[in-house]
Chain A
């Protein structure tokens, strides 16, 4: 059982380039989310999804797009990378039933540097 899988583990981009961070889970979790982690700032929610076809913004959504076409996958797209997006990105999922939110399972992270 792989859990939450993120690819790539490391990425270097130039300002203005685009890329997609991949996230897949094999636990049949309804809820998936993306966080960024910066020194002194903790984990901040970027976007989240409560099921296929449903996405919503978190605390820091600007500059990022998401879509959820399947239960398993939740890619994060950077359309035009900026140095301020240099961070470590984590995907997390949970089994969410109705309004009861369950514990999050995290991937191993993607370290992104934008030059």
Chain B
């Protein structure tokens, strides 16, 4: 069993829809949780970064962490075709210097 599980998709939604992307994990020691966006043939870029549990909002993006369920989510409101990309979750334990990534979910937003 992988430490971090993520549905690979692809997930296709119409423009303007609310998108929900999720990851589950097994290591309760994870403290830092991140979401990266990766366009085709590009390096991942950081979207959201949260520490421990709770919600964090940045524009159209909201990240949620539920440590009791070992579940993290990324919500995208008013999705745009430019949001079409692969979204990777990542997490780490402070001081270990090792980030564990999910396999990524491919998202397609249809105009």
Contacts and interface: CB of A to CB of B under 8 A. Distances in A.
Q: Which of B6, B41, B94, B97 has the most chain A CB atoms closer than 10 A to its own CB?
A: B97
A31 to B, nearest CB: 6
A84 interface: no
Interface residues of B, number: 26
B66 interface: no
A107 B43 contact: yes
A22 to B, nearest CB: 15
B44 A90 contact: yes
Nearest to B41: A109
Contact of B94 (A40, A41, A90, A101): A101
B102 to A, nearest CB: 6
B89 to A, nearest CB: 9
A36 to B, nearest CB: 11
A104 B98 CA distance: 11
Nearest to A99: B95
Contacts of A33: 97, 99
A113 to B, nearest CB: 14
A42 B104 contact: yes
Contact of A109 (B34, B36, B43, B103): B43
B98 A106 contact: no
Looking at A35, A105, A106, A108, the one whose CB has the most chain B CB atoms below 10 A away is A106
B43 A31 contact: no
A42 B103 contact: yes
Contacts of A42: 4, 6, 88, 101-104
Interface stretch (A11-19, A43-51, A69-77): A43-51
Contacts of A86: none
Contacts of B46: 103-105
A63 interface: no
B81 interface: no
Contacts of B97: 31, 33, 48, 50, 56, 96, 101
11 contacts: A35-B101, A43-B90, A48-B98, A92-B43, A99-B95, A101-B92, A101-B99, A103-B46, A104-B44, A106-B45, A108-B42
